[in-house]
Amino acid sequence: MNQLHETARALVATGKGILAADESTATITRRFEAVGIAPTEEQRRAYRELLLTTPAIEEYLSGVILFDETIRQQASDGIPFPELLARKGILPGIKVDRGAAPLALADGETVTEGLDGLRARFEEYRGLGARFAKWRATYSIGGHRPSDYCIWTNAHALARYAALAQEAGLVPIVEPEVLMDGPHSIEESARASGRALEALFTELHDQRVDYRGLLLKPNMVLAGYAAPQPATADAVAESTLEVLYRHVPAAVPGVVFLSGGQPDEDATVHLNAMSLRGPHPWQLSFSYARALQSPAMDAWAGRPEGVQAAQRAFAHRARMNSAAREGAYSRELEQQGVRSS
Ligand code: 13P
């Protein structure tokens, strides 16, 4: 097995998932301001240190995705974050896309930027300790969206990124995210997700990307957040699996879901429901930002005296999602954890 295959498999090792701690400065500023935290560089560093130094977190995490600023930062004792992770046996990753920009001549749609100079950036990130990478494309549903134009342009860019990542020896996480804002039905969500995945794997294939050395990070298939009724957990699990079975090659070692703004416990319940329907050709796991971090950020609120409570809240969500990977999550487990934390 080559190094890329090994890294990809290590990222979806039994019981472990990925923390996305790679919010851009603009995104983390929005999240901090929503809970009254000053959006300074030092607060961003202190917050990421809190997450990465949570006791025993390596039992539940295989990897952490960092942002450009974060991969260059250090813990209070001077240890660079990538080294701190490596010492715990957690693989450091890096978000390399530069965000979604308006797609020309496509009203309301976006294309993800960041390909220019990417080969040189990969070299630098590899030197800083990164072993895997992430690139996110987004598609919205509504009217004639997502257009084929948006789907194929983003698929092409995702595959160009993935090929460059593998050339540099980093495992690419490819993230085609169909957004759940709006009143659309779960069927519309399934159709859009299937179209995005079909285009993505066509481009990955044509651009010679090795499926065994990548991970897919998709949205779960939900009804839109403004739909009259949310879908049941069974419907989410069945629709999501149906889309994956139709469009994702069995050679892909793992599917690591994003949480996409679902309530924290829903993201856990949905992962658990899919695990219970296994075994599947790919490992199913998590790569959440909000659904792992929200209670921790609230508990911390920017205060040093909030660090321990925040770490307990973070470890709790990581433990619950680790259990969900095995189909072992339950309301009772959720409550026990809350009582003991
Ligand atoms: P959420 O889990 O908050 O959707 O974030 C995952 C992510 O990495 C988005 O790119």
Digit-coded pLDDT (tens) for 187-212: 999 999 999 999 999 999 999 999 99
From 79, 69, 62, select the one nearest 253 (Cα to Cα). Answer: 62
Pocket-testing residue among 219, 268, 287, 321, ligand 1, by greatest number of atoms within 8 A of Cβ: 287
Ligand 1 site, residue 260, Cβ cutoff 6 A: yes
The mean predicted confidence, pLDDT, of the chain is 97
What is the model's pLDDT at position 280? 98
pLDDT > 90? residue 341: no
Report, as an integer, the average pLDDT of 156-173.
98
Is this prediction's pTM over 0.75? yes
Q: Binning pLDDT at 50, 70 and 90, where does residue 129 land?
A: very high
Q: State the distance from the centre of ligand 1 to the C-alpha of 174, rounded, in angstroms.
A: 12
What is the model's pLDDT at position 338? 60
User: Choosing from 134, 188, 217, 238, which is the catalytic residue?
Assistant: 217
Ligand 1 site, residue 95, Cβ cutoff 6 A: no
Q: State the distance from the centre of ligand 1 to the C-alpha of 288, rounded, in angstroms.
A: 5
Ligand 1 site, residue 267, Cβ cutoff 6 A: no
Digit-coded pLDDT (tens) for 208-221: 999 999 999 999 99
* Alpha carbon distance 35, 106 (integer Å): 35
pLDDT > 70? residue 331: yes
Ligand 1 site, residue 201, Cβ cutoff 6 A: no
Q: Binning pLDDT at 50, 70 and 90, where does residue 152 land?
A: very high
Which alpha helices (H) appear in the chain, and where do they start and end? 3-11, 25-34, 41-52, 68-71, 81-87, 118-127, 148-167, 186-206, 233-247, 264-276, 290-300, 307-325, 331-340
CATH number at residue 222: 3.20.20.70
Pocket-testing residue among 290, 292, 294, 297, ligand 1, by greatest number of atoms within 8 A of Cβ: 290
SS3 91: strand
pLDDT > 60? residue 287: yes
Domain span at residue 120 reads: 2-340
Work out how many domains the chain is built from and give that number. Answer: 1
Calculate what percentage of the chain has a pLDDT beyond 90. 98
Ligand 1 site, residue 21, Cβ cutoff 6 A: no
Q: Which atom of ligand 1 is nearest to the CA of 260?
A: 4
Q: Which atom of ligand 1 is nearest to the CA of 175?
A: 10
Ligand 1 site, residue 321, Cβ cutoff 6 A: no
Digit-coded pLDDT (tens) for 30-72: 999 999 999 999 999 999 999 999 999 999 999 999 999 999 9
pLDDT > 70? residue 339: no
What is the model's pLDDT at position 336? 86
What is the model's pLDDT at position 311? 98
pLDDT > 80? residue 323: yes
* Alpha carbon distance 335, 341 (integer Å): 10
Report, as an integer, the average pLDDT of 146-158.
98
The reply to whether 175 belongs to the active site is: yes
pLDDT > 60? residue 170: yes
Report, as an integer, the average pLDDT of 134-160.
98
Looking at residue 195, the DSSP 8-state letter turns out to be H
Q: State the distance from the centre of ligand 1 to the C-alpha of 6, rounded, in angstroms.
A: 24
- Tell me whether residue 200 is exposed, middle or buried, using C-beta atoms within 10 angstroms of its C-beta: 0 to 12, 13 to 18, 19 or more: buried
User: Choosing from 175, 177, 203, 238, which is the catalytic residue?
Assistant: 175
Ligand 1 site, residue 288, Cβ cutoff 6 A: yes
Contact assessment for residue 84 and residue 39, using Cβ atoms and an 8 Å cutoff: no
